[in-house]
Chain A
Amino acid sequence: MLTILLNSAGEAPADILIFFGRIHPLVVHLPIGFLLLAVLVEVVAKRPKFQPLGNFTHYLWALGSLSALVAVVLGYFLSLSGDYSENTLFWHKWVGVSVFVFSLGCYYISKKQLKLPFYGKSLLIGLVVFAVFYTGHLGGNLTHGSTYLLEYAPNVVRNLAGMPDKAVPRKKVTVLDSADVYLDLISPIMDSRCVSCHNKDKKKGDLDLTTFSSLMAGGESGEILIPGDLNSSDLYRRITLPESHDDFMPSEGKPPLSEEEVTLIGWWISAQAPAEGYFTALNPDQEMQDLVEKYLGLDKNKLLNQQVEAPNPNVVDSLTNLGFILNPLMIDNHFLEANFSLSEHEFTDKASETLLLLKDQIIWLNLSNSGIEDGHLQKIGQLENIIKLNLSKNEISDEGLTYLSNLTNLESLNLYKTSISVGLLEVIPKLTNLKRLYISETMADSTVVNQLQQHKDLRIEFD
């Protein structure tokens, strides 16, 4: 072991040392346990009932100091890997050594049953306790980062420790135009994929990716990012290497960045890696905009991200009297489904007019088998928030269909058993969000369907 140690001096440490070093976090809990038990026994042995225990404390001190020694040696090996903040490491190391020294002292005193002047033994025991806790705390900081312990502490406690208030999470982006390029796109990627190893305290490769400035400062091999130059940016190189490559990041089998995230970072670097500013202000092309919308989850109905007002109770009343069933669709918002398919009433113009009064709230509309005619659809076509529209089993034709061209939120359109046909070719391309279309038992024939099928993402049921 010693020869390995000596041979490796000055160069990168031998793997075998790091291997043993990584046992440190396991072994380090043994002295904590033994020593605290020894202290406990020392304390309770003062009471007559437990006095006999006092005869055995030197065994506990021996175990404690011996395991502390092993922990110190293994800890030293681990420190050779150099992945840790130096200042914290210095104190962790030397307070750790002091744990060994003090506990060895305790062993000696207990074994020889020495009487020290002026509470000497108690002071020494106190030192052991302090050293165990303090070096343990520093060790925790090294592994988890110094903010770990108080991350979720109440602000009062955080302020006492000299920390700022808890960061308020950035508000979720609801419109693409409000997305900040660094704060909403790049920084969250770094946070989720990189900063567990590259932070202020655990600076693997001397690199800290928590803030824009520390990112630009680079790591031990210099700058990792050259604005506008993808090929010279080491950051980009490392996330695009094959996963098996030694330089690939994230290393050690941590989940790699998604394709979207890689594209996004690449685009950002090419766009001169600005520290702030709106994403859309950087003139991204359509493909990039789509990608970011998808990445931020904005492609999934922006509609549902907004809070709508509670529906006017009078309108709810009149709709129910007209024969609608109104179903709330979620607890924390007022979106509604309006269902007329079970109604015994006749569908009237008044019904569609009244529906318009809830045009913000109604996102699902079921008018199956409701005696709907082309004329009714003029009003229905103004319900712009509709995501799902069921018009099956009604006498409607291409003429009525054209009224639906503005329903750009529509994802599902059911025209089963209606009289629509080639009019689909004109209307369907305008429904940009449409994903499912049901046109079995209509006048549409297979040539129409074939033409419609060229629109990507649209699933058509037709037989």
Chain B
Amino acid sequence: MSKYHNFMRKPLSRREMLSICKGGFGSLAFMSLFGVSTISCNRSKYDALGSGSDILLGPHYLPKAKNVVFLYMDGGVSQVDSFDPKPRLAKENGQDPRKKFKVDATQFDNVGKILKSPWEFKQYGECGMPVSELFPHIANCVDDIALIRSMTSQFPEHTNANYFLHTGSGLQGRPSMGSWMTYGLGSENKNIPGYVVLDGGLIPPGGLDNFKNGFLPASYQASILRAGPQPVANIIPKEQIPNLQEQKLDFIKELDEKQLNAIGEADAIESAISNYELAYKMQSSIPELTEFKEETEATKKLYGFDSDDPHTRGYAAQCLLARRLVERGVRFIELTCPKVSADRWDQHGDLKDGHEKNAHAVDQPIAGLLKDLKSRGMLEETLVVWTGEFGRTPFAQGLNGRDHNPSAFSMWMAGAGIKGGTIFGKTDEYGYRVIENEVTIHDMHATIMHLMGIDHERLTFRFGGRDMRLTDVHGHVIKDILA
């Protein structure tokens, strides 16, 4: 078969059939026949405004959240040093963990002694949630935060764990959660993609496949915005002559449409056309987005723009950008970590130095984001999620590091529909394993979708002969953390 076999005529899918029919008299009759609401008949109208999506499904039930800001803590934050204090580690510091409990195989097979946390914990807020010295700013927001201490992952290694966290499957190639959300809900803004990843400097292991559309139409993949003056490559037109770019684009579109007419519906071509259109609009929307001219000094200071630490300043800009994207109706925004000198949160050695540098970079900006969203009334419609891909061991790797631990880690959510000040789930006295109310990654996905008004069991896409879901055949909404 030729290398162009992708562009040969394929049988129509139900979705393609509907979208071809839409607009015609036949489709009206068809839709009323099956009781499809008038709104869905008018979806093409919404599309004219809120493009990016070809079919806007809308939520299953009244949503709590309209947008998600996913703060990805790349590498795995140590739970016992951040949100899950374990006094027993201090008592048994330096003892052999193998004499205390069964130690699973670790990534680097270099099990050291039980290692107490180098940081003190204090209780904060009305709820009295304990937080370590690593996060003094986030600690002041605990009354808005629902903490889950009983997360587990299925993978002890970054790449698979990242795919699992982002796509619900440890293998490469499934659609990312952001793609699922935009596929289900569409985007409100015609000038900015519905799913945006703000690249803080570190693309997580597993690469861009963490943010891909998988088998969903290609328009639902994430658009990556880099930090710095040119967040998207070639965003400034290079053509000297006015109109030249538009003429070029028109010509490309003409060619694409010819091809499309010749072979029928093909996601690759359709998505290419819509991506060209979007990219053109982004030439004006992106510079407007990334300029912080309208932001007051007080706001910038809240996020940490005046910090001595360049990484804090960098992440502050990302967090502020996230808020601006939420204001512009972007559905799903993920922030990756800044590239501090100590690598991401993956401290196999020198835990104290590395975690301190990472925490310092993100702590104030995250707290700033929460406070800013709250005072603007945006936090009631925005879900903020903070998590790594797994946790770390309560015993040392070597002398002063910690190895990967998928059996227990902490994450938190704040904002729309979340019961602030809640602590859910429990680990054993070492913080090594979950002993109460285990929450899987699937459960987390189901809960995020639930807050967006999506029933995770009903948002499906037929692929490989099966109705695929983000949560596959798993996932339970964690009702205890919902307001």
Q: Does B37 contact A (CB under 8 A)?
A: yes
Whether B62 and A329, one on each chain, are in contact in the complex, defined by CB atoms closer than 8 angstroms, is yes
Stretch binding the partner chain, chosen from B237-245, B374-382, B472-480: B374-382
Asked if B453 is at the interface (CB within 8 A of a chain A CB), the reply is yes
Residues of A within 8 A of B189 (CB): 342
B377 pairs with A342, CB closer than 8 A: no
Produce 1/0 per residue, B349-391, CB < 8 A to A.
Answer: 0000000000000000000000000111100100000000000
Contacts of B84 in A (CB 8 A): none
Name the residue on B nearest A368 (C-beta): B327
Q: In chain A, what residue has the closest Cβ to B37? A: A310
Closest Cβ of chain A to B362, distance in Å, is: 23
CB of B279 closer than 8 Å to a CB of A: no
B437 at interface by CB-CB < 8 Å: no
Residue from B39, B63, B329, B377 whose CB has the most chain A CB atoms within 10 Å: B377
User: Are B376 and A438 closer than 8 Å at their CB atoms?
Assistant: yes
Chain A residue numbers with a CB within 8 Å of B45 are 316-317, 320
Within 8 A of A (CB), among B382-437: none
> Is A328 within 8 A of B63, CB to CB?
no
Collect the chain B residues with CB atoms within 8 Å of residue A329's CB: 58-59, 62-63, 453
* Interface status of B46 (Cβ within 8 A of chain A): yes
Q: Report the nearest A residue to B458, measured CB to CB.
A: A331
When chains A and B are docked, how far (Å) is the Cα of A37 from the Cα of B429?
50
Q: Does B226 contact A (CB under 8 A)?
A: no
Complexed CA–CA distance, A310 and B46 (Å):
16
In the complex, whether A326 has a CB less than 8 A from a CB of chain B is: yes
- Residue pair B375, A328 in contact (C-beta under 8 Å): no
Q: Contacts of B329 on A, CB cut-off 8 Å?
A: 325, 339, 341-342
Number of interface residues of A (CB under 8 A): 34
Q: Is A199 part of the binding interface, using a Cβ–Cβ cutoff of 8 Å?
A: no
> Could you tell me if B62 and A438 are in contact, using CB atoms closer than 8 angstroms?
no
Partner of A436, one of B40, B41, B48, B377: B377
- Is B42 positioned at the interface, with any CB of A under 8 Å from its CB? yes
Which of A312, A316, A325, A331 contacts B60 (CB under 8 A)? A331
**B38, CB-defined interface residue at 8 Å:** yes
- Complex interface bits, B23-35 against A, C-beta within 8 A gives 1, otherwise 0: 0000000000000
Q: Is B50 among interface residues, defined by CB-CB distance under 8 A?
A: yes
Which of chain B's residues have a CB closer than 8 A to the CB of A352? Answer: none
Could you tell me the distance in whole angstroms from the C-beta of B460 to the nearest C-beta in chain A? 14
Cβ-based interface call for A330 (8 A):
yes
Provide the residues of chain A in CB contact with B49, threshold 8 Å.
320, 325
- From the candidates A310, A342, A392, name the one contacting B188 in the complex (CB within 8 A): A342
**A326 / chain B contacts, CB cutoff of 8 Å:** 39, 46
CA distance A22 to B453 in the complex (A): 47
Chain A, 375-416, CB within 8 A of any chain B CB? 390, 392, 412, 414, 416
Chain B's nearest CB lies how many Å from the CB of A269? 34
Shortest distance between the CB of A316 and any CB in chain B (Å): 5
Is B61 an interface residue when CB atoms closer than 8 A count as contact? yes
Considering only residues 295-318 of chain A, those with a C-beta below 8 Å from chain B are: 304, 310-313, 316-317
Given the complex of chains A and B, what is the CA–CA distance between A330 and B59 in angstroms?
A: 5
Q: Are A328 and B39 in contact (CB under 8 A)?
A: yes
Given contacts A328-B58, A414-B377, whether A311 and B39 have CB atoms under 8 Å apart is yes
In the assembled complex, which residues on chain B have CB atoms less than 8 Å from the CB atom of A339? 188, 329
| Chain A residues with CB under 8 A of B48 | 320
Smallest CB–CB gap between B279 and chain A, Å?
19
> Any chain A CB within 8 A of the CB of B137?
no
- Closest residue on chain A to residue B40 by CB atoms: A328
* Interface residue count on the B side (C-beta < 8 Å): 29
- Give complex CA distance A304, B59 in Å: 15
Point out the residues of chain A lying under 8 angstroms from B39, CB to CB.
310-311, 316, 326, 328, 334, 336
Contact indicator B375/A330 (Cβ below 8 Å)? no
Whether B375 contacts A463 by the Cβ 8 Å rule is yes
Tell me if A461 counts as interface (CB < 8 A to partner B).
Answer: yes
Q: Please tell me if A143 contacts chain B, counting CB pairs below 8 Å.
A: no
Residues of the A chain whose Cβ atoms lie less than 8 Å from the Cβ of B300: none
Task: Choose one: B38, B56, B61, B374; the contact of A310 (CB below 8 Å).
Answer: B38
Complex Cα spacing A311 to B46, Å: 14
Q: Knowing A310-B37, A326-B39, A334-B37 touch, does A392 contact B376 (C-beta < 8 A)?
A: yes
Docked-complex contact B38 and A327, CB < 8 angstroms: no
Cα–Cα, bound, A410→B63 (Å)? 17
Any chain A CB within 8 A of the CB of B328? yes
Expressed in whole angstroms, the Cα–Cα distance for A11 and B327 within the complex equals: 76
Contacts of B62 in A (CB 8 A): 304, 329-330, 335
Chain B contacts for A462, CB-based, 8 A: 375
Point out the residues of chain B lying under 8 angstroms from A320, CB to CB: 42, 45-46, 48-49
Contact B42 A461, beta carbon cutoff 8 Å: no
- Contact among B38, B58, B377 with A412 in the assembled complex (CB-CB below 8 Å): B377
Contacts of A327 in B (CB 8 A): 46, 56, 58, 188
Contact indicator A416/B38 (Cβ below 8 Å): no
Q: How far in angstroms is the closest Cβ of chain B from A361?
A: 9
Q: Which residues of A contact B60 (CB under 8 A)?
A: 330-331
Once the chains are docked, how many angstroms separate the CA of A463 from the CA of B372? 11
Task: Please report the C-alpha to C-alpha distance between residue A317 and residue B39 in the assembled complex, in whole angstroms.
Answer: 10
Which residues of chain B are within 8 angstroms of A342 by Cβ–Cβ distance? 188-189, 328-329
Residues of B within 8 A of A416 (CB): 375-377
B1-55 interface (Cβ within 8 A of A): 37-42, 45-46, 48-50
**In the complex, which residue of chain B has the Cβ closest to the Cβ of A301?**
B62
Report B-chain residues with C-beta under 8 Å of the C-beta of A441. 375
Closest chain-B Cβ to A371's Cβ sits at a distance in Å of 15
Q: Are B41 and A313 in contact (CB under 8 A)?
A: yes
Q: Cβ of B380: which chain A residues have Cβ within 8 Å of it? A: 412, 436
0/1 per residue, A431-446, Cβ < 8 Å to B?
0000010101100000
User: 21 pairs across A/B with beta carbons < 8 Å?
Assistant: A311-B38, A316-B39, A317-B42, A320-B45, A320-B46, A326-B46, A329-B58, A329-B59, A329-B63, A331-B61, A342-B189, A368-B327, A392-B376, A392-B377, A416-B376, A436-B380, A438-B375, A438-B376, A440-B376, A461-B375, A462-B375
- Top 3 nearest A-B pairs (CB, nearest first) are A438-B377, A328-B58, A414-B377
Q: Name B's A-contacting residues (CB within 8 A).
A: 37-42, 45-46, 48-50, 56, 58-63, 188-189, 327-329, 374-377, 380, 453
